[in-house]
Structure 1
Amino acid sequence: MNIRSRRGTKPSQSRRSLVVLLQCFILTTLAILAVGYYLFYKSSPGNTVLTEGFRHGNIRVSGIAGSVRRHHANDSGGTYDSKATIGYAITVSGCPKDDGSRGDFGAGITDGAAVLKHSIHMNSIRNAESGSKYDYKMYALVHPEAEHCARPTLEPLGYEVLVRNVPVRLQDIRGDYLREKVPKNGCCGEKEFVKLHAYTLVDHPAIVHLDLDTLVLKPMDNLFNVMIDGPPPDGSNGGIEVAFGDPLVSSHPGGSNEINAFFTRDYNMAHRGMQHVGVQGGFLVLRPSLIAFAEFSSIIRKGDFRSNGGWGGLGFGPFYGSMTFQGIIPYFYDHLHPGTGVELNHCVYNNMADNPRDKPTKNDVVSGSCRDGYNRPDKNDQCEDCRSRPIEDVVTTHFTLCQKPWECLAQDGDRIQERLCRKFHAEWYRIRENLETTTLGQKQVDLTNQNEVEQERGGKYQPQHFRGYCKSSGKKGYIAMKVPSSTS
């Protein structure tokens, strides 16, 4: 019997039934394979999975994220059993010019990246003395125009280089004002949006995005614990210093207890009458989510940034960098998803040794109104001076006002800002020395013996402070690291 229907005629009922049965069989088989693979992966020894979620309206999207690394050797020769692996990301949007004045800070793209990574290493579970329970993995989000300088530099340092373009092409931004103005906004124009690709690193339960001129001084376990396990059930802040001493969990109507971001604000850019203060772009702890990344892309594509009202015309701008990262992040967490982002105390996290008031400090005497009180009248005369914070309290620092460590600036004047900056720079050089002597094969030296320091390392300028890595004051006096072809 010929079961094939002739051209122009309808297929027989038996053929339709056979097709339906075949389709059901294929779909059922695929479903069984998918479930089987998931159960196998979940039960595999040495792998623990954490669910990744992000609330988008009434929708919650979950997936497998953050596989835990187990039984790896630490610096002491023992093994460690980490709670999770945290992703740390930097962004390289451009290569330094010949004079090193732009791009990613000249020596910062090499030495800055190396020392930053080692500071993370020293404050992870791989260093038993840190007390941290978390492992780490390093990423570099690199704009295509910067690949030629970033890849050969960062891969030997142990960064996984991910070449990523802007989430939305400039010509695809529908808002005329944003499309025309964003290329000259902030430090890097629309290339600053490359940072948003940190949200796509969903293999980790949390991502820390840092600028190259930052340094980690203490573990951030408290932040990761809250992001992974949720806020403490007793209502405490879980050891986290929140800005203004506010509670960790927002009381915003309709909000949830799930925290998806930690950030600090840049009060140096604040002015009276500003409705919303931008985030400081060098520090962001985030919960990765493809849904969040898609929403950021949609916001950029729509391009609703107004000349006098910023994003959505709601006061998220204009200010420095407001068209890009510094403005879109607070718009996302303060307006679109209120209660899911937490502002941290910027004296503890991302400390920049900045003057908290709007008038100069003379002879260590502060004056003027509190910049962080412009939007908080109840705190207007109670701002903490981050320059007086003991360095032992600081979790991360950011070399903005202090200037870059690789510029060999002594910062040894007896002023409140210089005293803290000098301590921050000393930590950077201490960590560089630890990297070179424990990993790169450099000899230990007696820092009180100037001749030995100069002979072994080449620099005699304030050797107990710069540890032999500066020949003189200024960036021309800096002695760059010699990084081998492969450093894990």
Structure 2
Amino acid sequence: MKIRRKHESRRFLALNAKSLVLGCVAMVVMLYVVFFAKVIEMSKVREKIPDSAYLRENLDIPADHGDHDQLAIDRLGENEQAREVAPVAVTGAGDEPKKNAEATETTTIGFAVTITGCGKDPITEGAAVLKRSIHLASTHGNLGGKYDYKMYAIYHPSGLECAKTLESLGYTLVERETPVAVKDIEGEYLRSKIEKNGCCGEKELVKLEAYTLTQHPVVVHLDLDTLILQPLDGLFDWMLAGDQAKSFDSSSTTVQWPEDDVPQKINAFFTRDYNMGGAKKKRLKPVQGGFLVLRPDMKVYDEFVEIIRKGHFTDGGGWGGVTGVFYGSMTFQGIIPYFYDVLHPGTAVELNHCVFNQMADNPRNERTVNDVVHGKCMTGEDDCEDCRSRPLEEVFTAHFTLCQKPWWCLPQDQDMIQQRLCRKLHHQWYRIRSDLEESWGRSVMGEGDYQKDHFYGHCKSHGQKGYIYIQEPFGVP
């Protein structure tokens, strides 16, 4: 009986297995029937949809990971850089994205800031408003810009703690050591002096790492206390013209020296800091370190590295014994003019510093009294423009150096040439900060009552202690 029951059990199991297989086959057949029916239905629907709408419906934009982005992940660790690619920026109320009709394909420009260490001033205020100003001047904003953008915060390891605060604002973090360790500099004079030169010593050379962002055709390096007021499309178009730059229509771009020959190919745009160089001659003056538009190139970067390693910087003569000595001359402000003026002349264009990187600086070497200028022109010209008289509407980018930082709540309300433009530029900074807050769903006006119309409610009293900081958590970048 036990044996017979055993055979019956096996026969029963075999029948169940056979039924299970047949059931699975039937289910698969049914799924295929449903699938093909759905395909036929979608095909009929697609026939009714215009081609352009169908393309938009299925648009798939892959994440852009460059070689140096991956290097940042490797250096910081996967966990710390899990959000390495900045989220796509959102538009605020009334800020519908605009595409330039002439642009057949959106090119992404890299925008980089450098953090050499953590100072007393919080960097998030400048970083947040700067990024918003770039957004508004891009294809996502309402100023007619046609280029997209991506933000980078290049930081020295000593600046990691404060650099991390920019990640939630949509900056991609990129860690970099100085291009050359001080101990490896061959020139004894440079090696012994560079650590105490300028604002940040050898760490200022970390700005040169912007040349390694070769995943972008153009990179703009800016200081955190700068602001974009108009699209920089004219510069991007001109640089992207490649070896046709000489014949390119650049009439929309205001240069410092219109009489100079235009390079066959433009690899950099910059402005100079004439107040740092003395009123002797117009050439071989320091580059202003807060603004540089460059063509990324590893060969150029490697050449900078070799220049620093050799360290041919003389006492009184500067780089190569020819650039002169001034504040920060051993680092970024000095090595850039050495590269483009001495080693590779005819490859860069100096922009008008009243239009780009506007600092509202005194154009002469003596004080301005009652709006009357005195002394010699710092550019070396007999007559020179006073940037403080430039209409705000003609300014493309501003740099808050002489005007002081916007987040210091300084009204700059005296009726004098030294303050009129500064007040207007500060007002623009606060306008863009309020636009940023509104894009996050917050009130346009802050709670501060100190000159509320001017500061948009973000100052409660005069001075740094009166500033009301942007509250965390930040909105979607």
> Which string of whole-angstrom CA distances, capped at 9 and with x for unpartnered residues, describes residues 36-64 of structure 1?
xxxxxxxx9979x9xxxxxxxxxxxxxxx
Asked if residue 149 in structure 1 is aligned to residue 165 in structure 2, the reply is no
Which of the numbers 451, 456, 463 marks the counterpart of 1:462? 451
CA apart distance, 1:233:
6.2
Distance 2:113 2:291 in 1: 10
| Corresponding residue for residue 310 of structure 2 | 302
1:171 aligned residue (183, 206, 212) = 183
Equivalent residue runs for 1:307-318 within 5 Å: 307-314=315-322, 316-318=323-325
Q: In the TM superposition, what whole-angstrom CA distance separates every residue of 1:359-394 from its partner, at most 9, and x where no partner exists?
A: 111111111111001xxxxxx222110000001000
1:261 aligns with 2:260: no
Cα deviation, residue 238, structure 1 = 3.9
Give the TM-score normalised by structure 1. Answer: 0.76
Distance in 2 between residues matched to 1:282 and 1:343, nearest whole Å: 14
**Matching residue of 2:341:** 334
1:126 aligns with 2:143: no
Specify the alignment match of 1:228 in structure 2: 240
Equivalent residues in 2 for 1:40-439 (5 A)? 80=99, 82-96=105-119, 100=120, 106-107=121-122, 109-127=123-141, 129-151=142-164, 153-230=165-242, 231=244, 234=247, 236-247=249-260, 249-250=262-263, 257-273=264-280, 276-314=284-322, 316-373=323-380, 380-439=381-440
Mapped contact 2:271–2:356 kept (Cα < 8 A):
yes
Counterparts of 1:386 and 1:435 in 2: how far apart (Å)? 28
1:472 corresponds to which of 454, 461, 476: 461
| Higher percent of residues as strand | 1
Q: Per-residue deviation at 1:268?
A: 0.9
Structure 2: gaps (5+ residues)? 1-58, 65-87
Closer, same or farther in 2 for the Cα pair 1:148/1:348, shift >3 Å? same
Shift of 1:83: 3.0
Aligned equivalents of 1:400 and 1:212: distance in 2? 11
Cα-to-partner distance string for 1:2-46 (whole Å, 9 max, x where unaligned): xxxxxxxxxxxxxxxxxxxxxxxxxxxxxxxxxxxxxxxxxx997
Q: 1:248 to 1:407 in 2, by over 3 A?
A: farther
Residue 485 of structure 1, CA deviation: 5.5
Deviation at 1:278, TM superposition (A): 0.6
Q: What is the alpha-carbon distance in structure 2 between the residues aligned to residue 405 and residue 72 of structure 1?
A: 24
Question: Following the alignment from structure 2 to structure 1, what is the Cα–Cα distance between the partners of residues 168 and 278?
Answer: 43
Distance in 2 of aligned mates of 1:434 and 1:79: 17
1:237/1:247 contact within 8 Å kept: no
Count of residues in correspondence between the two structures:
387
Partners of 1:464 and 1:244 lie apart in 2 by: 39
CA distance, structure 2, for counterparts of residue 172 and residue 273 of structure 1: 35
Deviations for 1:48-104, whole angstroms, at most 9, x for unmatched residues?
x9xxxxxxxxxxxxxxxxxxxxx99866556856531000000000102xxx2xxxx
How has the CA–CA distance of structure 1 residues 73 and 248 changed in structure 2, closer, same or farther, with 3 Å as cutoff?
farther
Query: Given residue 418 of structure 1, which amino acid in structure 2 is its aligned partner?
Result: Q
CA distance in 1, matches of 2:247, 2:324: 37
Deviations 1:181-226 (A, max 9, x none): 0011000000000000000000100000000000000000000001
Q: 1: CA distance between counterparts of 2:434 and 2:181?
A: 42
Q: CA deviation at 1:270?
A: 1.9
- Structure 2 vs 1, CA of residues 218 and 149 (structure 1 numbering), >3 Å: closer, same or farther? same
Classify 1:238/1:84 alpha carbon distance in 2 versus 1 (closer, same or farther; 3 Å).
farther
User: 467, 470, 475: which one pairs with 1:481?
Assistant: 470
Kept after mapping to 1: 8 A contact 2:459/2:467: yes
Residues 97 and 139 of structure 2 are in contact (CA less than 8 Å); yes or no, is this contact kept in structure 1?
A: no
Q: d(CA) in 2 for partners of 1:116 and 1:74?
A: 15
Question: Hey, what's the Cα distance between the residues in 2 that align with 1:222 and 1:172?
Answer: 40
CA contact (8 A) 1:74 1:125 kept: no
What's the TM-score once normalised by structure 2's chain length?
A: 0.78
Would the alpha carbon gap of residues 430 and 79 (structure 1) be closer, same or farther in structure 2, given more than 3 Å must change? closer
1:444 to partner: Cα distance: 3.4
CA drift at 1:442? 1.1
Which of the two has higher C-alpha Rg?
2
SS of corresponding position for 2:289: strand
* Cα distance change, pair 463–115 in 1 and its aligned pair in 2 (3 A): same
Matches of 1:206 and 1:86, distance apart in 2: 6
Deviation of 1:146 after TM superposition, in Å, equals: 0.7
Amino acid at match of 1:207: V
5 Å-filtered alignment, 1:28-47, equals none
Shift of 1:245: 2.4
Q: What amino acid is the match of 1:333?
A: Y
State how far apart, in whole Å, the 2-side matches of 1:132 and 1:342 are.
Answer: 22
Q: Shift of the alpha carbon at 1:246?
A: 3.0
CA distance in 2, matches of 1:73, 1:150: 22
Are the aligned partners of 2:273 and 2:285 in contact in 1 as well (CA < 8 Å)? yes
**CA 164–368 in structure 1, closer or farther in 2 if over 3 Å, else same:** same
Deviation at 1:458, TM superposition (A): 2.9
C-alpha distance 82-134 of structure 1, shift in aligned 2 (>3 A)? farther
Q: Quick check: 2:208–2:301 contact (8 Å CA) kept in 1?
A: yes
Q: Secondary structure at the match of 2:373?
A: strand
